[in-house]
């Protein structure tokens, strides 16, 4: 289900904000002249701009995703202010950025501003630059008047549709107008500059013996050439260059990415790094990232190329035509795109695997592949087939299970694109593996519980929205759980309530991250007996404290765009295979929110509702005596579940 991200969303988890140990160059400090070569070998100096009233010096890196996004913006700023006496230099200080890499960066982003190679970090050290991207504004006397970010569109784990403050532009305007800069210093969020290391020769921890195995186990699956990690960690030179950043994000628990509360559930795909390995990483970085003896290097981990399916797909379906993704999504971002492809299958197809392969991972934030049966309704009957979203891991279907694609169905590609600073094209496709029906006795179905009728008030920091399934009509086997909200999502919890009233937390995500939506796969599939309900509880932060919040002054309702919200608890279940089962009909569907209602009404937390506590709940008030089967003048949750189980099933809405 929800399992991968765009490179930008992935990289935001890596961006760091805490200070690193550099000699501080204070505001007002005068910058001495310097000379650096550009990617063609031509030297440029600060003195070349003696006739300019203002000079901007910006630090970028070829592998840093934010630097890629801001390269074009810096060029636009340079073009806008050139006639007003402003000069600009872009400095590449990363030791790992070769002249060839820089030349490619210049071509890709169509830069005419001089882009210079800071071979030994001397200029970065002079400015006290710590991260890319970061910018410095120098006045006529070449004193630092501003230092920090370019604007505030991108923060740690946050992508805004547009900046709320264009810090660099405002600082330039104020310096040009001979005014003090209103906000002279901001926090640059981005990649730590890769500096040359002086390693300890007697370090007890080395890359070859200790760190390479750790990176192979936890990192290079994504951080290697052609994958979604923003830089390659499969070699010593690259790993050493990113050492400080790796240590920081591991210490802050942003990497490896995993958001489940360890108190609840056991998940086969849990990402965790043992404390001993963390300490080895910290020691290695502290000791200057020594390489060690290359004889100690482990064998490189092998990865499949192309499809990650266990074999080449039997059927591949592609978007009907390429989609041009603009360089900038504008104020509202790129609207969701929908592409429909007729399968023309003359019979039902049972599949044991499906993989979405984005044509351009740099701009595909997520893809969901739906199946709409012939004469089916998009709102009510669509079937979830597969997806590409934050956190890719292709998990095999449980043994003996398969998904069904009804004959003559239509495949729908739901595409969400995130621009990356230059115009791109994408043609995404999905590959499927056909099942040997002799081996299949279970159907795997993706279903969900959700709430579409919520309203999140303005400035609400802890707004709770709940939803409960109808009691299941048959036994089902739970395989995985995938919570889904948008940028105001704060926390999510799944709970199972058995017909006896016993309650069990299946999954708790105390810090939900829209940029990393994970499918939590149970280590052991969980049998859910008939008559049980699954309850979901979501918490939203619509306050100003949520820096990803598009507008804390507005009420927020259900909607498909990221500035709207969703409250969906997806999960995969298995049921016995039945070829005659109605296509699109799900074994678990949203019903009355009995668990959320019960918990809210149980004011004294005694596990039962008195007549006074249900005074404002008409259906419970009217049928109190009939529901109270044990005649104790309290309604237990199990009694309410039994009563709801006897009610007719309401018509589903929007596939829920």
Residues 581 and 599 in one domain: no
Rounded to whole angstroms, how far apart are CA atoms 77 and 614? 62
- Return the sign of the alpha-carbon dihedral for residues 504, 272, 486, 482: negative
Q: Which two tokens stand for residue 237?
A: 């030179």
Residues 370 and 397 in one domain: yes
Please tell me the predicted confidence (pLDDT) of residue 547.
79
Rounded to whole angstroms, how far apart are CA atoms 515 and 487? 8
Mean pLDDT by runs of 10 across the 656 residues of the chain is: 42 48 73 91 92 97 89 95 96 87 90 92 93 96 97 78 90 96 94 82 90 90 76 84 81 84 92 89 90 91 79 94 87 85 94 93 88 86 86 79 95 89 90 95 95 96 97 96 94 97 97 86 96 98 89 92 91 94 87 95 94 93 94 95 83 42
Q: Which residue has the tokens 């739906």?
A: 370
- Return the sign of the alpha-carbon dihedral for residues 380, 384, 387, 390: positive
- We report the CATH number of the domain holding residue 624 as 1.10.238
The per-residue DSSP string of 302-315 comes to P---S--SSS--SE
**CB 23, CB 246: distance < 8 Å:** no
CB hemisphere CA count around 640 (13 angstroms): 30
Residue at which a domain ends, from 586, 607, 632: 586
496 CA to centre of own chain: 27
Please tell me the predicted confidence (pLDDT) of residue 620.
94
H or E segment at 574? strand 568-576
| Nearest Cα to Cα of residue 540 among 584, 588, 486 | 486
Residues 234 and 326 in one domain: no
Residues 512 and 544 in one domain: yes
C-alpha distances (whole Å) from 290 to each of 191, 195, 201, 240, 283 are: 21, 14, 7, 8, 10
**CB 445, CB 405: distance < 8 Å:** no
The structure's pTM equals 0.74
| Nearest Cα to Cα of residue 146 among 56, 208, 77, 223 | 56
Residues 175 and 53 in one domain: yes
Phi then psi dihedrals of residue 361, to 5 deg: -60, -20
Please tell me the predicted confidence (pLDDT) of residue 609.
95
The SS3 call for residue 441 is: coil
In a domain, 451, yes or no: yes
The SS3 call for residue 350 is: strand
Rounded to whole angstroms, how far apart are CA atoms 647 and 111? 66
Please tell me the predicted confidence (pLDDT) of residue 653.
43
Residues 97 and 239 in one domain: no
**CB 426, CB 360: distance < 8 Å:** yes
In a domain, 655, yes or no: no
Residues 355 and 458 in one domain: yes
Please tell me the predicted confidence (pLDDT) of residue 92.
95
Rounded to whole angstroms, how far apart are CA atoms 256 and 433? 30
Which residues, at least 6 apart from 67, have a Cβ–Cβ distance to it below 8 Å?
60, 61, 132, 133, 190, 191
Residue at which a domain ends, from 246, 265, 296: 296
Residue at which a domain ends, from 264, 296, 328: 296
Q: How many structural domains is the chain composed of?
A: 4
DSSP-derived pairing of the beta strands 410-417 and 337-342: antiparallel
Query: Any idea what the Cα angle at residue 216 is, between residues 366 and 483, rounded to 5°?
Result: 30
| Nearest Cα to Cα of residue 339 among 315, 314, 358 | 358
**CB 246, CB 281: distance < 8 Å:** yes
Q: Which two tokens stand for residue 69?
A: 């996004």
- We report the CATH number of the domain holding residue 323 as 2.60.120.230
In a domain, 198, yes or no: no
The SS3 call for residue 431 is: strand
In a domain, 7, yes or no: no
Q: Which residue has the tokens 């202010």?
A: 81
- Listed in sequence order, the DSSP H helices in 51-144 are 65-81, 99-108, 122-127
In a domain, 161, yes or no: yes
**CB 421, CB 325: distance < 8 Å:** no
Rounded to whole angstroms, how far apart are CA atoms 533 and 510? 22
SS3 of 616-634: the string is: CCHHHHHCHHHHCCCCCCC
Strand partners, 449: 569
Rounded to whole angstroms, how far apart are CA atoms 414 and 620? 41
Residues 97 and 234 in one domain: no
Q: Radius of gyration of the chain from Cα atoms?
A: 28
In a domain, 656, yes or no: no
| Nearest Cα to Cα of residue 274 among 213, 231, 363 | 213
Rounded to whole angstroms, how far apart are CA atoms 107 and 101? 10
Burial, 347: exposed, middle or buried (Cβ in 10 Å; 0-12, 13-18, 19+)? exposed
Rounded to whole angstroms, how far apart are CA atoms 33 and 47? 6
Residues 457 and 574 in one domain: yes
Query: Any idea what the Cα angle at residue 364 is, between residues 333 and 562, rounded to 5°?
Result: 40
Rounded to whole angstroms, how far apart are CA atoms 333 and 117? 34
Residues 142 and 99 in one domain: yes
Range of the domain at 261: 212-296
In a domain, 434, yes or no: yes
Rounded to whole angstroms, how far apart are CA atoms 560 and 486? 9
**CB 320, CB 337: distance < 8 Å:** no
Residues 266 and 170 in one domain: no
In a domain, 653, yes or no: no
Residues 326 and 260 in one domain: no
Q: Which two tokens stand for residue 58?
A: 């910006």
């Amino acid at each position: 289900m929800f399992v991968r991200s765009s490179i930008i969303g992935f990289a935001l988890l890596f961006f760091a904000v805490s200070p690193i140990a550099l000699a501080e160059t204070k505001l007002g400090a005068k910058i001495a002249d310097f000379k650096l070569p550009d990617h063609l070998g031509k030297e440029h100096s600060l003195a070349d701009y003696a006739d300019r009233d203002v000079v901007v010096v910006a630090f970028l890196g070829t592998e840093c995703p934010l630097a890629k996004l801001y390269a074009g913006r810096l060029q636009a700023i340079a073009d806008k202010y050139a006639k007003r006496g402003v000069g600009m230099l872009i400095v590449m200080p990363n030791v790992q950025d070769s002249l060839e890499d820089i030349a490619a960066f210049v071509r890709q982003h169509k830069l005419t501003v001089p882009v210079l190679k800071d071979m030994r970090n001397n200029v970065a050290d002079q400015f006290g630059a710590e991260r890319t991207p970061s910018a410095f504004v120098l006045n006529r006397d070449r004193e630092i008047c501003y230092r920090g970010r370019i604007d505030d569109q991108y923060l740690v784990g946050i992508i805004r549709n547009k900046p709320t403050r264009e810090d660099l532009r405002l600082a330039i305007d104020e310096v040009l107008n001979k005014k003090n800069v209103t906000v002279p210093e901001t926090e640059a969020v981005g990649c730590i500059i890769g500096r040359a290391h002086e390693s300890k020769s007697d370090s007890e921890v080395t890359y070859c013996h200790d760190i390479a195995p750790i990176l192979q186990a936890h990192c290079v699956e994504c951080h290697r050439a052609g994958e979604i990690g923003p830089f390659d960690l499969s070699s010593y030179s690259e790993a050493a260059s990113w050492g400080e950043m790796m240590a920081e994000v591991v210490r802050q628990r942003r990497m490896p990415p995993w958001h489940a509360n360890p108190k609840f559930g056991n998940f086969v795909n849990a990402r965790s790094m043992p404390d001993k390995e963390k300490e080895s990483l910290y020691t290695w970085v502290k000791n200057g990232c020594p390489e060690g003896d290359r004889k100690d290097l482990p064998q490189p981990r092998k990865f499949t190329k192309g499809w990650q399916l266990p074999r080449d797909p039997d059927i591949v379906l592609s978007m009907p035509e390429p989609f041009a993704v603009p360089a900038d999504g504008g104020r509202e971002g790129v609207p969701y795109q929908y592409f429909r492809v007729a399968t023309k299958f003359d019979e039902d197809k049972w599949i044991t695997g499906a993989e979405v392969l984005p044509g351009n991972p740099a701009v595909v934030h997520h893809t969901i592949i739906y199946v709409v049966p012939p004469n089916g309704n998009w709102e009510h009957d669509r079937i979830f087939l597969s997806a590409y979203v934050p956190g890719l891991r292709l998990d095999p279907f449980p043994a003996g299970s398969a998904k069904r694609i009804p004959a003559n169905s239509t495949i729908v590609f739901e595409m969400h694109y995130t621009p990356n600073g230059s115009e791109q094209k994408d043609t995404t496709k999905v590959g499927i593996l056909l099942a040997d029906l002799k081996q299949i006795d279970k159907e795997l179905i993706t279903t969900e519980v959700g709430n579409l009728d919520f309203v999140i008030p303005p400035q609400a920091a802890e707004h709770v929205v709940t939803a409960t399934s109808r009691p299941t009509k048959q036994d089902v086997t739970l395989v995985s759980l995938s919570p889904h909200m948008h940028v105001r999502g704060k926390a999510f919890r799944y709970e199972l309530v058995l017909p006896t009233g016993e309650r069990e937390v299946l999954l708790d995500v105390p810090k939900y991250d829209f940029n990393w939506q994970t499918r939590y796969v149970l280590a052991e599939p969980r049998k859910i007996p008939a008559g049980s309900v699954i309850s979901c509880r979501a918490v939203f932060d619509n306050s100003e404290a949520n820096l990803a919040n598009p507008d804390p002054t507005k009420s927020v309702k259900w909607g498909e765009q990221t500035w709207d919200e969703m409250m969906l608890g997806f999960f995969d279940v298995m049921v016995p295979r039945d070829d005659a089962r109605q296509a699109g009909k799900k074994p678990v569907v949203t019903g009355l929110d009995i668990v959320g209602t019960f918990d809210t009404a149980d004011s004294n937390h005694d596990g039962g509702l008195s007549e006074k506590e249900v005074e404002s709940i008409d259906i419970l008030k009217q049928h109190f005596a009939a529901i109270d089967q044990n005649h104790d003048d309290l309604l237990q949750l199990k009694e309410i579940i039994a009563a709801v189980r006897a009610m007719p099933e309401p018509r589903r809405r929007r596939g829920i």
